[in-house]
Amino acid sequence: MDTTAIDILLVEDNASDAELTLRVLKKHHVVNKFQLVTDGEEALDFFFGTGKFSTRDISLLPRLVILDINLPKVDGLEVLRKIKADERTKSIPVVMLTSSKEQSDIIAGYKLGANSFIVKPVDFKKFMETVEELGLYWLRFNESLQ
């Protein structure tokens, strides 16, 4: 298990969406190092050094979390709530991915401290532009804080 510091943690259960997202991020050299987890439980394990990630150095935090809202086991909003409730992790920017414009999800996400929302479009080109833009913005935002 790679225990070195990573740039982005991508939490996405859909393999196609995950691959497309990662391709965008890589292609435009936004990041080099990332970690993909495929459900909410794994995401929490990653942050809190449990389960699959029990051997990980949890002091190493990603610079950005891209978190899908619909996840198996523990859903995205719950993961978000836990990240934002922990002193150690709460300042990591979280960009939420959602496949709908469902207002209640978005409002709930912002209330819990989500930094941005990307409504995943069918149009890959649009998606690419958005991910690039927001990913870069938040990575840089985080850098400027550190």
Partner 1 sequence: MSTDSLPLKDHNLLIIDDEVEVTKALTRQFRKKYNVFSASDVEDAFEIMENESIQVVLSDQRMPHMTGVDFFTKIKDKYPDAPKVILTGYSDIEAVIGAINQGQIFRYVTKPWNPEELDSVISEAFEKYELITQNRKLTQNLREANITLEEKVKVRTSELKKLNTNLTEVNREKNIYIGIIDAIFNSVPGLIYLYDEDGKLVRWNKKHELFTGYSSEELSQMHLLDFYKGDAEIQKIITEAVKTTFLNGFGETEAALSKKDGSVIPMYFTASKLTIDGKNFFTGIGIDITERKLAEAEIKNLNQELEQKVIDRTEQLKIAYKELEAFSYSISHHLRTPLRAIDGFANILLDEYALSLDVEGKRLFQVIIDNANKMGQLIDELLSFSSLNRMEIKYSPIDMHNLAYSAYDELTGKEEKENIKFRLQNIPPATGDASLINVVWINLIGNAIKFTSGKTDRIIEIGSKTEDDSIIYYVNDNGAGYNMEYSNKLFAVFQHLHSPKHFEGNGVGLAIVQRIIEQHKGRVWAEGKVGEGATFYFTLADRKDNKNQLQKNI
Q: Which residues bind partner 1 (CB under 8 A)?
A: 14, 16-17, 20, 23, 70, 99-102, 120-125, 127
To partner 1, the closest distance from the beta carbon of 123 in angstroms equals 5
Helices assigned H by DSSP within the chain: 15-27, 40-48, 76-85, 103-111, 124-145
To partner 1, the closest distance from the beta carbon of 30 in angstroms equals 17
Residue 122 or 145 having the CB closest to partner 1: 122
Residue 18 or 61 having the CB closest to partner 1: 18
Residue 58 or 119 having the CB closest to partner 1: 119
- 93-111 burial, b for 16+ CB within 10 Å, e for fewer? bbbbbbbeeeeebbebbee
Kind and range of the H or E element at 97?
Answer: strand 94-98
Residue 17 or 78 having the CB closest to partner 1: 17
Q: Which residues contact 101 (CB under 8 A, 6 or more apart)?
A: 119
Residue 6 or 118 having the CB closest to partner 1: 118
Residue 89 CA neighbour count, 13 Å, CB half: 25
To partner 1, the closest distance from the beta carbon of 143 in angstroms equals 29
To partner 1, the closest distance from the beta carbon of 144 in angstroms equals 31
To partner 1, the closest distance from the beta carbon of 26 in angstroms equals 12
The helix/strand/coil state of 70 is: coil
CB atoms within 10 A of CB 57: 11
